[in-house]
Amino acid sequence: MLNNKSILVTGGTGSFGNKFISMTLEKYNPTRIVVYSRDEMKQWDMAERYKNDSRIVFIIGDIRDKEQLIRSLNGIDYVVHAAATKIVPTAEYNPFECIKTNINGAMNLIDACVEKNINKVVALSTDKASNPINLYGATKLASDKLFIASNPFAATHNTMFSIVRYGNVIGSRGSVVPFFVSLLDKKEFPITDPDMTRFMLTLEQAVELVWHAFNDMQGGEIYVKKSPSMNILDIAKSVSQNAGFNIIGIRPGEKIHEQMISVEDSPHTFEYEDYYKILPAIYNLSEDRSRIGSGKKVASNFVYSSDDNKDQMSVNELSAWIDSNIYRGKLD
């Protein structure tokens, strides 16, 4: 699938970008992977790791800059869109900057990909785009809508856009597990709400979902990986059984529970063995049998949320993951 393909990854120096590139190089033989990001120090560090691999190319650029995007897409087949302003309180306090990156940046990328006849684009989304209560979620919902609605006019350029939607990605920068690990010496973890729950998805699973999207997509789909959930207190206990808790209250824009599929999405949602697929409501595409394939339509009142999830990750399971990936220095 990705053999002999040229791939550009926006936000390629982030947690996901690092993992996507390392796993893709291990499984496939791409012609070229372009790391497109605006952090030159992260690019410098990453370039040192790949200095002997001529397939990895680094370009300093911002998705707010359409002209640089267009130049950078020369010869590219596939795009993974991982660049975003994603920290919820940061977005609440800096709404103009969040909109410029998450919405205007998405529009720039869509225009650039259509102009350059890119074959397939997979954009990373978030649980917070499902019934959003914060600005980050609202901007990602708008971004998702832009990518989905762009498929009909992009079809004349043979360009397809699809979405993958994640909850909490274990070990990614800014996520709760590395945050708790960083506080081990303080012996007390701040807890926003003891009832809070989160989906638990590994970076490896996040990458595999993008691979699946590239292989399956016809344009306009939202792919949602089935994932276990955990209560925030159990997450904290997985990091340390001895640390105390300090209840600090909900941060601006924060949800108590994650939701990846809303009841409003259920008429267009289909279930598969290890994921769900939300098909576009526009143009009756959710009735297209070629897109549905082997999927089974979910119940009309179906909601996929972390507080009502039958699949739960245990403290022992997360502790084992932390021991293998963080304490042994394997976290990107």
Contact 64, 76 (CB under 8 A): no
| Residue that the structure tokens 């950078």 belong to | 72
What is the 3-state secondary structure of the chain? CCCCCEEEEECCCCHHHHHHHHHHHHHCCCCEEEEEECCHHHHHHHHHHCCCCCCEEEEECCCCCHHHHHHHCCCCCEEEECCCCCCHHHHHHCHHHHHHHHHHHHHHHHHHHHHCCCCEEEEEEEHHHCCCCCHHHHHHHHHHHHHHHCHHHHHHHCCEEEEEEECCEECCCCCHHHHHHHCHHHCEEEECCCCCEEECEEHHHHHHHHHHHHHHCCCCCEEEECCCEEEHHHHHHHHCCCCEEEECCCCCCCCCCCEEECCCCHHHEEECCCEEEECCCHHHHHHCHHHHCCCEECCCCCCEEHHHCCCECCHHHHHHHHHHHCCCCCCC
The residues carrying an active-site annotation are: 128
Exposure class string for 306-331: b at 16+ Cβ within 10 A, else e: beebeeebebeebbebbeebbeeeeb
Question: Both tokens of residue 16?
Answer: 């996901």
Q: What is the largest CA-CA distance in the chain?
A: 60
